[in-house]
Amino acid sequence: MEVSEDLKHIRLEKKHADLGAKMVPFAGYLMPLQYTGLIDEHHAVRNNVGMFDVSHMGEFILKGEKALDLIQRVTSNDASKLTDGKVQYSCLPNDKGGIVDDLLVYRINDDKYMLVVNASNIDKDWDWISKHNTDGVEMENISDNTSLLAVQGPNAAKALQALTDIDLSGMKYYTFEIGTFAGVKDVLVSATGYTGAGGFEIYFNNDDAEKIFDAILEEGKKHDLKLAGLAARDTLRLEMGFCLYGNDIDDTTSPIEAGLGWITKFTKEFVNSEALKKQKEQGVERKLVGFEITEKGIPRQGYDLVNAQGEKIGTVTSGTMSPSLNKGIGMGYVKTEYAKPDTEIFVQIRKKQVPAKVVKLPFYKSK
Amino acid sequence: MNIPADLKYTKEHEWVKIEGDTATVGITDFAQSELGDIVYVEIETEGETLDADEVFGTVEAVKTVSDLYMPVSGEVVEVNEALEDEPEAVNQDPYGKGWMIKVKMTNPEEAENLLTADQYKELIGQ
């Protein structure tokens, strides 16, 4: 990505650079890619605890008695199932069969919701939701004043508990509480994350960023908490088979093709629900699958997937060496006939067709 | 950033050590730090004679992949097989245990076109 002059800035940008982070432009922000090294950071999160600054993510607040109706119309999951303090993974289907973005929906109370969206899509999502806001729901984009730290790993609750009165170890996955954290009031602590390692995402105003970050770093020392960057975040999410917008899903991929049928609920009407329902009933021609390289090699985004005859059957959308499994793993769309687990496929890596096997997700099963 | 003064360099971030008509080749400290954790070094050109700037192999880091280019023309006479089991040596010791190939140069004068340490430093803005 080119460094552009209109780069946006997370509040703690300078602090990360001072702490030794390699900073790179990502989704319009200068973000920490890694500190000590991707593999170290990856293992720290999988096996202990690590902290990511993901303040580039976008947050919208929707208020009013029609807020739920609007969310129901623009998202694919059934947000009416949410109760106060619950979070739901969902997506914004477009009207052409693709996906505007994937997001988290937080129900703060029955007429106040928070939507958490991808940094690269903040403007696009805002415009899309605004366009569908025909009932005057009050919308506020708090992305520019909101910081987000993800403290992830099996020891996250232990590492953070001394900083808050919220009972962290008692929190269920995909729930949140608003409380005092590191002496700061009204901090939203959510038992969510993008790593599959467990842990919390902590949302607060930028003005408290330094205080909260420093407190976690200081308290984290007792627990050997490591700072982790976007590079480790990507290998961790890919080991779980979590989709990354822009790689595995985009404006042209349908949630059904992407294996997001579980968040596409036909209990209600939403943008393009008729067409997606038909897709679900009639089947799709391609599907997003996970695959493991069975010999040596690392799949990369954009590589061709081929069959035993060397004919192209799909494309890799995400690929990496898995630090936890120590092998090449990837996701990609393949013709549906090749989508069953254990199907042998091949990845075209430079001049070689390297054998791979379709597997069930996640790649990494937590102990 | 470690850039030994007694080595030669290329724009593609390889270092070259010239001893008689033999050139030992690896990637620089700068290159390894840009690539991040290296997990796989693929060199399948042993015994082949290649021209300068031809690809002699590939280095795979967790997040990215990069081609390796011949700094000079010649035969790839030896490949560092230790990298098969210990690719991280390229990160830890790029100018030592992380060496990649030895080349028997067909035209030793080509070595004069390589960058000096100072020129390389300038290239990477150090």
Q: Tell me, what CATH number does A217's domain have?
A: 3.30.1360.120
User: What digits encode the pLDDT tens for the residues A215-256?
Assistant: 999 999 999 999 999 999 999 999 999 999 999 999 999 999
What is the number of H-type helices and E-type strands within chain B? 4, 9
Q: Tell the residue number behind the tokens 């030992």, with chain if given.
A: B24
Residues A233 and A304 grouped into a single domain: no
pLDDT tier, A1 (very low <50, low <70, confident <90, very high otherwise): very low
CA distance B104 to chain A (A): 26
Which letter does DSSP use for residue B85 in this model? Answer: H
CA distance A312 to A307: 7
8 Å CB contact of A300 and B58: no
CA distance A204 to A53: 12
8 Å CB contact of B63 and A231: yes
Residue A350 lies in a domain: yes
Is residue A61 within 8 Å of A112, Cβ to Cβ? yes
Tokens encoding A171: 């929190």
Greatest alpha-carbon pair distance for chain A in Å reads 63
Instruction: Give the DSSP H or E segment for A135.
Output: none
**Beta strand pairing status for A352-359 and A344-349?**
antiparallel
Task: Assess whether pLDDT exceeds 90 at residue B101.
Answer: yes
Residue A308 lies in a domain: yes
Mean pLDDT of A188-205: 98
Residue A13: φ, ψ to 5°: -50, -50
Task: Assess whether pLDDT exceeds 60 at residue A4.
Answer: no
By three-state DSSP, how is residue B123 classified?
helix
pLDDT tier, A367 (very low <50, low <70, confident <90, very high otherwise): low
pLDDT tier, A5 (very low <50, low <70, confident <90, very high otherwise): low
Residue A300 lies in a domain: yes
CATH match for B8-108 among 3.30.70.260, 2.40.50.100, 1.10.3980.10, 2.60.40.10 = 2.40.50.100
| Sign of the torsion angle spanned by Cα atoms A313, A318, A319, A322 | negative
Select the residue of A38, A297, A350 nearest B36 (Cβ to Cβ). Answer: A38
Residue A75 lies in a domain: no
pLDDT tier, A53 (very low <50, low <70, confident <90, very high otherwise): very high
Instruction: Identify which of A347, A342, A352 has the alpha carbon closest to the alpha carbon of residue A319.
Output: A347
Task: Assess whether pLDDT exceeds 90 at residue A366.
Answer: no
pLDDT tier, A47 (very low <50, low <70, confident <90, very high otherwise): very high
For chains A and B, what is the number of CB pairs under 8 angstroms? 30
Domain with A230 in it: 13-55+145-239
Provide the pLDDT for residue A290.
98
Mean pLDDT of A99-104: 98
Mean pLDDT of B104-108: 96
Report how far apart, in Å, the C-alpha atoms of B34 and of each of A22, A89, B28 are. 9, 35, 10
Task: Assess whether pLDDT exceeds 60 at residue A335.
Answer: yes
Residue A72 lies in a domain: no
Q: What is the DSSP string of A18-65?
A: HTTPEEEEETTEEEEEESS-HHHHHHHHHHS-EEEE-TTSEEEEEEST
Domain closes at, from A202, A223, A239: A239
Share of chain A above pLDDT 90, in %: 97
Instruction: Identify which of A251, A257, A248, A286 has the alpha carbon closest to the alpha carbon of residue A271.
Output: A251
pLDDT tier, B1 (very low <50, low <70, confident <90, very high otherwise): confident
Q: What is the DSSP string of A213-277?
A: HHHHHHHHHTTT-EE--HHHHHHHHHHTT---BTTTB-TTS-TTTTT-GGG--TTS--TTHHHHH
Provide the pLDDT for residue B57.
97
Q: Is A294 exposed, middle or buried (0-12, 13-18, 19+ CB in 10 A)?
A: middle
Is residue B76 within 8 Å of B101, Cβ to Cβ? yes
Residue A203 lies in a domain: yes
What are the residues whose beta carbons fall under 8 Å from the beta carbon of A13, sequence distance 6 or more? A23, A30
Tokens encoding A61: 């607040």
Domain closes at, from A201, A223, A239: A239
Question: CB A240: neighbour CB atoms within 10 A?
Answer: 18
Residues A292 and A347 grouped into a single domain: yes
Mean pLDDT of chain B: 96
Residue A103 lies in a domain: no
Instruction: Give the DSSP H or E segment for A211.
Output: helix A209-221
CA distance A101 to A74: 11
Helix axis angle, A38-47 relative to A230-239, nearest 10°? 50
Residue A274 lies in a domain: no
Mean pLDDT of A306-334: 97
Provide the pLDDT for residue B63.
86
Using a CB-CB distance cutoff of 8 angstroms, which residues of chain A are in contact with residue B65?
Answer: 298, 300
**Beta strand pairing status for A50-53 and A226-227?**
parallel
Q: Which residue of B has its CA nearest to A38?
A: B37
Q: Does the predicted TM-score (pTM) go above 0.90? A: yes
CA distance A308 to A328: 19
User: What digits encode the pLDDT tens for the residues A71-83?
Assistant: 999 999 999 999 9
Residue A290 sits in a domain whose CATH number is 2.40.30.110
Would an 8 Å CB–CB cutoff place B39 in contact with chain A? yes
Q: Tell the residue number behind the tokens 């070094």, with chain if given.
A: B41
Residues A228 and A292 grouped into a single domain: no
Residues A234 and A313 grouped into a single domain: no
Degrees (nearest 5) of the Cα angle A278, A284, A289?
135
pLDDT tier, B124 (very low <50, low <70, confident <90, very high otherwise): very high
Select the residue of A37, A296, A350 nearest B36 (Cβ to Cβ). Answer: A37
Q: What are the residue boundaries of the structural domains of chain B, listed by start? A: 8-108
What are the residues whose beta carbons fall under 8 Å from the beta carbon of A285, sequence distance 6 or more? A335, A336
User: What digits encode the pLDDT tens for the residues A254-282?
Assistant: 999 999 999 999 999 999 999 999 999 99
Using a CB-CB distance cutoff of 8 angstroms, which residues of chain B are in contact with residue A234?
Answer: 63
User: What digits encode the pLDDT tens for the residues B9-48?
Assistant: 999 999 999 999 999 999 999 999 999 999 999 999 999 9
- Please state the domain count of chain A: 2
Share of chain B above pLDDT 70, in %: 100
Task: Assess whether pLDDT exceeds 60 at residue A301.
Answer: yes
> B105 - beta bridge partners?
B74
Residues A160 and A39 grouped into a single domain: yes
Residues A208 and A291 grouped into a single domain: no
Mean pLDDT of A6-27: 95
Residues A50 and A151 grouped into a single domain: yes
